[in-house]
Structure formats: structure tokens, C-alpha cells
Structure 1
């Protein structure tokens, strides 16, 4: 019996998506404890990811620098789609992402941010596409995931502190991260140590939630795991287990 054309087309689309996803590279963090839990041992290009802070502006800033550090290590320009002109671009350079590489797309609503992201993801050769959003529906996230897979460009949904409770439900994102500021190392002198974050991997396909205390991005966009701190599994609420 001949397979219905619609089913054959669907099978072909699935095979194409799986093939494209398998061909795309992965960007390792260089921290074995983190990379071991990620599909492909790193952040997948050609995939959708989520990054969020928490209720505090310090967490929002930490999440921004974390995202900038990832993007700095991919090659090409970055499209950053946002609703408000409140991002201090020069600070991105602290994580290795020079402002000259970033093209800001200012829109009026979440709907326009999604539209801008899809349009940007049609173009290959980008380091990444970021969209600052509140709540995102499953259909919209699937469209972004498909667009990222097709172009080979990593896409990032970034939830700001102004939308703390708008958790993405049923998202098609491959990974979901939450970043919170943590106390820096005590130096014993009147000075500031390297920033530290509480980095939670809340979702990863084929992996379990986990949480680490990490040192914030350096000028090359790399994080590090302090030698004296062991990684711990995440609690159900996404915070550190007791």
C-alpha cells in the first residue's frame, strides 16, 4: 500500500531536521562537569536555547553577561531583538562580545520580537540571534527551533527580570538556563574578586537539571568552576539542594 503523500512529506521533513541538527557544531563551555550533561557536550548551534535571570536586577545583569560570553565565542555578527532600549552595550565587551558585532533590533511588542527573530534566523553565518521576551507559546518556540536548525544559527530566548514569572511552557528549546548572582570569593583585602554566579541548567534534552557555582565570564567569554566548590544537583525549585 502506497504511503499517503502528507505522511511521506512529514517523514522527509523530520529526516531533514534530524540531519541538519546532527551536522551543526556544539560550543563547549570547557567545564567538564557542565559539558557532560549537554547533548553534544556543549551549546548547540542550529538550536533554540533559553536564558533567564530572576527577580533581581543583579541576576538580570549576570544572565546578560552569561549570554554575551556564549555569543562571543561563535563567529559572526549578533542580532539582538528587544522591546526596550535599556541594554548597556559596552558592558558586553567584558565577556568578549564587542559592541561592533551586535546589531540591535528594537521592536514594540513580543510579537514583533518573534517576527524579527524568525527573519534574522533566515540568514546563515550569524553568531546568534537573541530575543528578549516574556511568555512564549509552544508553536512560536517550534518555529524558532525549526528556523535555527535550518540556518545553523543558535537562537536564544532571553527572559528579563521585568518578566520574572512568565516561564515558557512546553518550549521547544534544547536547553534552559537560569543565572543568579552569587557572593564573590573573599580576598582578605579591600577589593572585589571575580564575579560568581549560581548557574542552573533547568532543562536539557536527555539530561537532568543541575546547578553549579561558577566564576563569571572572563574577557574571552569563558566561565570556570571554582576548585574548592563541588557541583551539586538542583533542587526541585531550581535552587541549590541542601
Structure 2
């Protein structure tokens, strides 16, 4: 007799592709090398071939978000490949990407005049299966526009990142995940302000996964969890039981 857990596992495997989380043999299987964070993802692997949303509210958080995303790009581009970074007002210092294991020559920056051009360039880039990733800095994005991005990423297997700087209110879009990265003081031998980049990482939404919150540091080329916010996990598990 088939056990309940086996039935649920089979159902999950059938449902995930319908939610834009297909896993194909040719996919660039990415290991984040952080078990605490990977346990939040469906199948325990960072989702590729789909869209991820990052929201920021302050310039400080924007800089931290750029660093966190660059660290993920470093994992994606580890075996080579190219990423497009599209924006209207780029402030990123490209040479700093080396700190996150990204070679600057692996990033092609596309600077356009307005967000309408960002939308067009992003959708066209997501259709190009020769790319590994596409990152777009765009503030205003509708569900319809994000759905077009998600469908393009599913078809090409390119992984997309949307960074929405200075967002005051959030709206529902079709991305597989939503993140909020907050800057924290770095620490070294108990002295604040001296040390490695440190962030509060909030995975606010993850399709078919488990949202979570972590205090983490980027050191020795990897994500290192300093503290996990158990309140987020307990609340999420409680809501699942109620639902």
C-alpha cells in the first residue's frame, strides 16, 4: 500500500511544473551552499528558469540588496556564462562584484532612458537562452508584465531578478519568490562597522517552499547564517495548519 507521504511527494512533483518550477536535465543546478536557506526552497535547490523579486525601501537596503543578489549571481555564473544588468540609473561599482565571486566581464550592463525601455529590454533578454541570468532594476511592475517575464524565463530557462528600489507599497506579481534584504552593521571581534557584509535576509514568499528570515554574513566566499528567525517559521507553519 502506498503511504500518505509517498502520495504527497508524487503530487508535489506533479504540481511544481504547473507552478513554473520545472526542473530540466539541462538546467544550471545552483547550490547556494547554505543549508538553512536551501531548506526553504522547493526540492532544496535554488529555483532557476523563473523570476525572483527583491524589494528595497532605503538606499542602504538597496546597496545591500545589490550585494546579496551579486552573491547569488556568483553561484549562478560559477561555471561561466553571461548576465545582463538592465537599469535607468546604474549606481553599482562593477569592480566590487569580485568580492562576491563575480567576474565583471561576465556582466553586460544595459543603461536605458526610462522604465518602459527596461521592460522591453528585460523581456527580450529573458527570451535569449544563451544567457544565464537577467537582472532588471525597475520600480513599477504590473502583474501582467511580470507574467510575461515569468513565461519567457520558463521557456528559455534563464533566471530573472527584479530589483524594485525605493518601493513604498507592494503589489502582487508573478515572481516565484519575494525577498527583502536589510543592511546590518558588520562585526569583527566585537567591534561594529569593521568586518564582512552582514544582512537580515527575509524570504517573504516562495512558491511551494517555506518563507524564512535569517541574519547572515558574506565571508570566505559563502553565505554564513549567524541567526535564524524562528518566529517567521513558526507563524508560517501555524498558518498552514489553519489553512
Partner of 1:233: 231
| 1:140, distance to aligned residue in structure 2 (A) | 0.5
Match of 2:36 among 33, 54, 57: 33
* 2:86–2:111 contact (8 Å) kept in structure 1: yes
| 1:78, distance to aligned residue in structure 2 (A) | 0.7
The 3 A distance-change label for structure 1 pair 188 and 202 is closer
Partner of 2:93: 88
CA distance in 2, matches of 1:20, 1:205: 8
State the TM-score, normalized to the length of structure 1: 0.79
Long gaps (5+) in structure 2: 1-14, 234-243
The C-alpha deviation readout for 1:170-204, integer Å capped at 9, x for no partner, is 21111111101112235146971222100000100
Match of 1:141 among 146, 171, 196: 146
* 2:84–2:110 contact (8 Å) kept in structure 1: yes
State the TM-score, normalized to the length of structure 2: 0.79
Match of 1:126 among 118, 128, 131: 131
Please give the root-mean-square deviation of Cα atoms over the aligned residues, in Å. 2.6
The 3 A distance-change label for structure 1 pair 196 and 80 is same
Count of residue pairs the alignment pairs up: 214
The C-alpha deviation readout for 1:103-152, integer Å capped at 9, x for no partner, is 11111222211110111112113221001000210111010001111111
Q: How do 1:61-100 residues align onto structure 2 when only pairs under 5 Å count?
A: 61-75=63-77, 76-100=81-105
* 1:59–1:181 contact (8 Å) kept in structure 2: yes
* 2:186–2:193 contact (8 Å) kept in structure 1: no
The 3 A distance-change label for structure 1 pair 28 and 231 is farther
CA distance in 1, matches of 2:174, 2:69: 19
CA distance in 2, matches of 1:22, 1:190: 42
Q: How do 1:180-191 residues align onto structure 2 when only pairs under 5 Å count?
A: 180-188=182-190
Are 2:220 and 1:215 aligned? no
More helix by share: 2
The 3 A distance-change label for structure 1 pair 230 and 157 is closer
* 1:63–1:180 contact (8 Å) kept in structure 2: yes
Partner of 1:51: 54
The 3 A distance-change label for structure 1 pair 72 and 219 is farther
The 3 A distance-change label for structure 1 pair 188 and 173 is closer
CA distance in 2, matches of 1:152, 1:87: 26
Q: Moved runs in structure 1, 4+ residues, more than 6 A?
A: 14-20
The 3 A distance-change label for structure 1 pair 155 and 219 is farther
Long gaps (5+) in structure 1: 1-13, 236-242
| 1:89, distance to aligned residue in structure 2 (A) | 1.2
* 2:32–2:75 contact (8 Å) kept in structure 1: no
